[in-house]
Amino acid sequence: MFGIVRKWMEKRRALRHLWQTDAQTLIEQDEPNAYYTAQRLAARCRARGDKDSFFHWAKVAAEVARLSPLTEMNYAVVEAIVAEELSGADKTEPGRS
């Protein structure tokens, strides 16, 4: 029983580390727009029906918001990004899922 719980905790820690690493990478690339980039990648995955990647990038966006005091987070901009991605205006693939 404890082995199952330990494996679950290790998996959660690994996922959290991946979210933090991707968030830090986006912040280093373009801190003011890192949140929007993560939201765009999440919306793109959602439009493709890729639930696991959508969840990943949504968590990365949350980590960006948590880690960076300089990132911009305007809900109207996020809505526009989501609308653009769901309409299929931008078909490039995200870097990591």
Q: What is the pLDDT along the chain (97 residues), one digit of tens a residue?
A: 889 999 999 999 999 999 999 999 999 999 999 999 999 999 999 999 999 999 999 999 999 999 999 999 999 999 999 999 988 855 555 554 4
Asked whether residue 97 is domain-assigned, the answer is: no
pLDDT at 79: 94
pLDDT at 97: 44
Asked whether residue 96 is domain-assigned, the answer is: no
Those residues with Cβ within 8 angstroms of residue 65's Cβ, 6 or more apart along the chain or in another chain: 35, 71, 73
Contact 97, 45 (CB under 8 A): yes
pLDDT at 95: 52
Question: Does the reported pTM lie above 0.85?
Answer: no
- List the domain range (segments joined by +) for residue 20: 2-86
Asked whether residue 93 is domain-assigned, the answer is: no
For residue 18, CA distances in Å to 24, 48, 90 come to 10, 21, 25
The SS3 assignment for 93 reads coil
10 Å CB burial of residue 60 (0-12, 13-18, 19+) is buried
Token pair, residue 53, equals 């990647």
Domain count, the chain: 1
Those residues with Cβ within 8 angstroms of residue 38's Cβ, 6 or more apart along the chain or in another chain: 22, 23, 26, 57, 58, 60, 61, 64
Contact 94, 58 (CB under 8 A): no
Asked whether residue 81 is domain-assigned, the answer is: yes
